[in-house]
Homo-oligomer: A and B are copies of this chain.
Amino acid sequence: VSAEAALVLHSYYRSSAAWRVRIALNMKGLDHRIVTRHLRRGEQSTPDYLALNPQGLVPTLEAAGKGALTQSLAIIDYLDELHPEPPLRPGPALRRARILAFALAIACDIHPVQNLKVLHRLRALGHAEPEIAGWAKAVIEDGLEACEQLIADEPGPFCFGPAPTLADLCLVPQLANARRFEVEPRWPRLVAAERAARALPAFAAAAPERQPDFEAA
């Protein structure tokens, strides 16, 4: 991680979406610098950051001379297109699409429905913490149950075969989120894929506890 890196990632240690991109950068072996944005202190809502990312979310990737790119799956797609090895969506078109579908089942239908922003909206509606945690728990359980079925016929050890793909990049942070909300993962294929992934250096180095802004809970 260099001070002169051509790639700058705006990240927050606990953000699932930023975590996905950190894994991708590590897998591709790309030199990069991390700028931390503390979401609970509102560092994603400063005017300078909103100029980069109008949604006020992390991550954002800045590539020297090319401006800012938002949305974790778009950033990963860009990195995968410029640096094809190792491929994050290997295989023929249908296989590539199935990997993307699994990733989207997490990135569209689980994570945004249980993220900090939505939990704040529930708080603003007057819900107490146990109700809010119950919401997150239900969303995560429903979603991961479906994810397990999406790869029921896959031999593993990763979500889609012998090497990690975009699916595993999305799964690992989502399972960490699950545990934060006291969902004990009961899905054997998902847990096996997570174990295989977390054993890899690229995944290990991207974990929240290895980030510069990590705070023990």
Contact = CB atoms under 8 A, between A and B. Distances in A.
Interface of A: 54-57, 63, 66, 69-71, 73-75, 77-78, 81-82, 93-94, 96-98, 100-101, 104-105, 107-109, 111-113, 118, 121, 125, 127, 131, 135, 138-139, 143, 145-147, 149-150
The count of identical subunits is: 2
Given A121-B135, A131-B125, A54 B100 contact: no
B96 A71 contact: no
Contact of A93 (B82, B109, B135, B150): B82
User: DSSP class of A's interface residues: helix, strand, loop or mixed?
Assistant: helix
Contact of A113 (B81, B101, B113): B113
Contacts of A69: 94, 97-98, 101
Given A94-B78, A97-B78, A105 B149 contact: no
Contacts of A139: 121
Given A54-B146, A108-B108, A101 B74 contact: yes
Contacts of A135: 121, 125
Contact of A81 (B96, B101, B131): B96
